[in-house]
């Protein structure tokens, strides 16, 4: 009888504890109303994905019942309601004062003894699990209404790190509960129509990962700027992760391509080194549990993750996304925090929530912002979004000056945290000194639909309050701030109304940073991916200078060393950077064809690269001199071309992007074509192996006249209308004196184009065009359709309007 009585008492006691404390290994997504989205997700992942090899630190959730129990037992809810009555959230001073009063009420409330005991008992139990007297934990807030598709409460409440005593844990819990009434949280609830007392707060108590001794960061399972869904975007920096979330550092950035990662390839398609100026570590002395120190220069100059670790994180990101996509029945991209334990030398997932900005956007409408004026660039940083805004700058260095900010101004500050949200909502654009694309400023700007430039380093020192500026995020990865109020326009297109023609409409793409965004245009792939932009912008160094580094002058070596930090093998730098640039373009359009033209600089352009002057001859007319195919088998460049081949091989064989085709420019003779193909095969790029197709530019009369013979060597042709016009009419297209005679519509050029199309198709090879003519002249595009061309590759800004021309031409000529 007594055993039954005590058993029932224990059952009731356990049930009561479970009202307030739930362990990650017993949580389910059904508990989301009790523990919030983040804690429910952690519990769900802990029970399912750790069985598949993912590592997640153990812990427990203090449920929303505990928060409501605190309000009920202490009787402070009535006072809180009284303080908030009649609040105007647009009045920054009023909001700040009332928020402070409510937070003080919660912090000074006496914790009910039974609640305190349950929390402490759970903490003791967690400490025993890790074999410690007082385990170090992270204490994270999780609002019970957070991460809804229409309202992300992410970042609204607080997180406290390196909590390692019972007393500090209770204080941290009070601070978490109080953070439900920060200024930004109050304002956000009002904006989204939530009653302050319908939203409760849960707390996650989780074993700390010792990333203070290693690194940490944020990972999204889509591209945060464009919504491109086939990439995992990883950011990382040394130390604890709050610096990245707060935007206090410019982190390392990595992109991994999901489709070929799932096929088993090492699809790390991009790496960008961040400056990582600060490192957050445990604080042994003082009242604060963590502190920031300056990152040693040698650590700033190396990546915080190995390639293998980035790929492991990306695989986990895909696992998490797939888990929640299957569970919810629709695509669910995720926003994930990770950390590396410096003691264990292992990676962990510490938090995950659904991404709620890009995943909610409609992709059937295309909105394009374009500057209509040019101006002086004042500063540059990383662009967030793709919009343009102009207005008056307002530099604010301290949160206490927020009340001076006026609606419609452009906010300029060192960095933002959630306390800044109130005025961020009033801004027309945002510029910060610090932070990356996963910083607070970037995340909030996306949610608000504002253009934002982060990581400028010196915006607050360069710009002045009241200064007229224009901020442009419409020019790729680099966000620019211009002097003055520049004119700009916006074009909106309903892509559902764009009819697809039979003729393939492809694109000319040079800048890898624009590739993800451009992939949303109606297209059939990339007809011309130029290596020159990648070499000029990302590498900047002549490949022979990297191969012959020891022979260079000291001043040239200093320039090269600054660009090739972390590379002992200088030639490897060229291969890696070129491969990453090509891979970003190829991944954006996968599995559609991406035709990559190998380098086609003229000698004077090669000479302008760092170290290039020592390896390039001076020519009277470089336009028709030592360029294109003639370089690739020549002793003066053959070794450098081998690096290009290695980069292309890496993209296809290691990253799995077999949609890449290779195109040879300026191939003057059939024999020259054989020589180039032989060199390519010697460097692992044999035509036909692993499905490799090799194209040739049709840009010389010789290519047209001998199209039958070139067809025996190459799989396809691409008409270069610029050079074909130049060589047909005998016009140097760099000469201003005879520029008026240059016209691709000249009858001689058109006859050659028509003959080339006829001959190539007779020999059952593919033929397209990548020159400017169809982008510039609608009538030339119509002419090409009439001739029966297979594909037309256009500049991105001409794709939509020329597609309409092609559709009309196909109807006219019954194609």
Which residues have a catalytic role annotated? 440, 770
Nearest to 609 by CA among 542, 662, 671: 542
Q: Quick check: 709 and 670 in contact, CB under 8 A? A: yes
Query: Do the bridges between strand 201-207 and strand 59-62 make them parallel or antiparallel, or are there none, so unpaired?
Result: antiparallel
- Alpha-carbon distance of 533 to 511, in angstroms, equals 6
Separation of first and last alpha carbons in the chain: 91
- CA 558 and chain centroid, separation: 31
Q: Write phi, then psi, for 112 (nearest 5 degrees).
A: -55, 135
Place of tokens 């209509």: 372
Q: In what order do the strands lie in the sheet with 346-354?
A: 268-272, 252-257, 231-238, 215-220, 334-341, 346-354
Nearest CA to 495 out of 806, 800, 811, 805 is that of: 800
Rounded to whole angstroms, how far apart are CA atoms 85 and 98?
10
- Residue 395 corresponds to which tokens in the numbers above? 């530099």
The structure tokens listed for 468 are 């007229």
Smallest Cα–Cα separation from 264: which of 315, 310, 309, 222? 315
User: What secondary structure letter does DSSP report for 217?
Assistant: E
Q: Are 510 and 533 in contact (CB under 8 A)?
A: yes
Which two tokens mark 223?
């591209």
**Contact 333/220 with Cβ under 8 angstroms?**
yes
**Are 231 and 224 a contacting pair, CB within 8 Å?**
no
Nearest Cα residue to 356 out of 242, 235, 444? 444
Query: What does the H/E/C string look like for 132-197?
Result: CCCCCEEEEEEECCCCECCECCCCCCCEEEEECCHHHHHHHHHHHHHHHHCHHHHHHHHHHCCCCC
């Amino acid at each position: 009888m007594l055993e039954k009585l005590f058993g029932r008492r224990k059952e009731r006691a356990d049930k009561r504890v479970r009202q307030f404390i739930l362990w990650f290994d017993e949580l389910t997504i059904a508990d989301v109303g009790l523990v919030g989205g983040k804690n429910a997700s952690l519990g769900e992942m802990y029970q399912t994905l750790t069985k598949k090899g993912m590592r997640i630190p153990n812990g427990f959730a203090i449920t929303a019942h505990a928060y409501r129990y605190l309000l009920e037992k202490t009787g402070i809810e009535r006072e809180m309601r009284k303080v908030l009555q009649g609040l105007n959230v647009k009045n920054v001073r009023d909001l700040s004062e009332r928020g402070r009063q409510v937070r003080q009420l919660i912090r000074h409330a006496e914790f009910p003894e039974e609640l305190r005991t349950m929390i402490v008992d759970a903490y003791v139990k967690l400490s025993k699990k890790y074999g410690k007297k007082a385990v170090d934990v992270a204490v994270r807030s999780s609002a019970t209404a957070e991460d809804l598709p229409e309202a992300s409460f992410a970042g609204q409440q607080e997180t406290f790190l390196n909590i390692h005593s019972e007393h500090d844990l209770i204080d941290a819990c009070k601070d978490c509960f109080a953070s439900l009434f920060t200024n930004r949280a109050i304002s956000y609830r009002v904006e989204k129509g939530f009653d302050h007392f319908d939203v409760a707060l849960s707390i996650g108590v989780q074993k700390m990962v010792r990333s203070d001794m290693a690194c940490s960061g944020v990972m999204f399972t889509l591209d945060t700027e464009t919504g491109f869904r086939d990439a995992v975007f990883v950011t990382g920096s040394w130390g604890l992760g709050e610096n990245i979330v707060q935007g206090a550092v410019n982190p390392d950035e990595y992109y991994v391509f999901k489709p070929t990662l799932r096929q088993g390839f090492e699809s790390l398609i991009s790496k960008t080194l961040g400056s990582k100026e600060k490192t957050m570590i445990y604080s042994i002395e003082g009242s604060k549990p963590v502190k920031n120190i300056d990152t040693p220069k040698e650590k700033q100059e190396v990546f915080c993750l190995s390639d293998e670790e980035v790929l492991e994180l990306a695989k986990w990101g895909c696992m998490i996304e797939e888990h929640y996509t299957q569970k919810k029945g629709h695509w669910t991209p995720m926003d994930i925090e990770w950390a590396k334990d410096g003691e264990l030398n292992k990676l962990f997932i510490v938090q995950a929530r659904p991404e709620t900005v890009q995943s909610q956007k409609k992709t059937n409408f295309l909105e394009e912002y374009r500057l209509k004026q040019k101006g002086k660039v004042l500063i540059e940083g990383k662009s967030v979004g793709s919009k343009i805004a102009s207005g008056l700058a307002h530099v604010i260095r301290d949160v206490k000056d927020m009340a001076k900010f006026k609606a419609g101004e452009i906010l300029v500050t060192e960095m933002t945290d959630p306390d800044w949200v109130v005025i961020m909502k009033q801004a027309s654009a945002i510029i910060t000194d610090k932070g990356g694309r996963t910083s607070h400023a970037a995340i909030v700007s996306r949610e608000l639909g504002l253009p934002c430039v982060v990581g400028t380093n010196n915006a607050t020192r360069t710009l002045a309050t009241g200064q007229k500026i224009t901020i442009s995020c419409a020019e790729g990865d680099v966000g620019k701030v211009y002097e003055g109020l520049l004119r700009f326009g916006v074009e909106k297109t309903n892509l559902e109304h764009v009819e697809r023609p039979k003729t393939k409409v492809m694109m000319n793409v040079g800048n890898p940073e624009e590739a993800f965004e451009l992939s949303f245009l109606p297209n059939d792939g990339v007809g011309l991916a130029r290596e020159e932009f990648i070499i000029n912008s990302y590498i900047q160094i002549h490949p022979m200078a990297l191969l012959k580094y020891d022979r260079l002058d000291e001043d040239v070596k200093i320039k090269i060393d600054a660009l090739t930090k972390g590379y002992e093998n200088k030639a490897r730098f060229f291969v890696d950077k070129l491969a990453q640039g090509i891979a970003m373009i190829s991944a954006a359009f996968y599995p559609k064809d991406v035709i990559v033209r190998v380098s086609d600089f003229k000698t004077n352009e090669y000479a302008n690269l760092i170290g290039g002057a020592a390896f390039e001859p001076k020519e009277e007319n470089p336009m028709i001199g030592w360029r294109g195919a003639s370089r690739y088998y020549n002793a003066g460049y053959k070794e450098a071309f081998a690096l290009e081949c290695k980069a292309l091989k890496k993209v296809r064989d290691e990253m799995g992007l077999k949609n890449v085709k290779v195109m040879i420019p300026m191939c003057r003779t059939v024999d020259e074509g054989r020589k180039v193909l032989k060199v390519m095969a010697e460097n692992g790029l044999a035509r036909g192996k692993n499905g490799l197709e090799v194209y040739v530019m049709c840009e010389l009369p010789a290519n047209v006249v001998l199209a039958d013979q070139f067809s025996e060597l190459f799989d396809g042709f691409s008409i270069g209308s610029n050079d074909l016009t130049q060589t047909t009419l005998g016009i140097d297209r760099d000469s201003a004196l005879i520029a008026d005679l240059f016209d691709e519509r000249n009858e001689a050029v058109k006859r050659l184009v028509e003959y080339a199309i006829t001959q190539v198709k007779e020999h059952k090879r593919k033929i397209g065009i990548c020159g400017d003519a169809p982008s510039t002249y609608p009538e030339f595009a119509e002419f090409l359709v009439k001739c029966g061309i297979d594909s037309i590759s256009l500049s991105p800004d001409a794709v939509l309007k020329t597609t309409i021309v092609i559709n009309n031409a196909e109807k006219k000529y019954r194609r």
